[in-house]
Structure 1
Amino acid sequence: MSTLTITANYRRHGDDWAVIVRAGGEELDATAPGLIAARLAADQLVDEIAAGSSRRAVVHLLDGDALAFSVAYLHTRAGLAPPVTG
């Protein structure tokens, strides 16, 4: 039984966050007013794109970078400003 690999790539979209979820040639997208809301939207898109798949792995990326997403998301969840990158 193989595992379905899914990516959820986030990026700033003006004042909002956009997320694109991709798996097996299929792509779904959403926009949300904050990173936490975008993460919740991504969960819904993952459920939709992986319907029928009991084994799945999701990698969350910020502009293609998994570590950058983790840092930004954890800072946001803790109520801290994300570190400035540049």
Structure 2
Amino acid sequence: MSDVRHVLVLPDRDTAEEVAEALAEHFGVDEDPRPVRDALAGEDDAEDAQWLLALRDEAGRLDPAELDAFAGRWDGWREEP
């Protein structure tokens, strides 16, 4: 069993929290991922931060392209590992 992870990058905290809730409904994920702030290098302003959601997918059942399209609905994307 491999340790597959997907990282979704989202524009703000509210969006990241909304996507985290929607993941369970849309993909049936068991865990409720926590949004994590990712400040851009050299930026102190919170407005310039992106928010990340990390998902475990040991079973390999989440399709990367589908996750990318899903995050795109909120102006986000799936980061390639």
Q: TM-score, normalised by structure 1?
A: 0.33
Considering only CA atoms, is the larger Rg found in Structure 1 or Structure 2? 1
Q: TM-score, normalised by structure 2?
A: 0.34
The structure that is strand-richer by fraction is 1
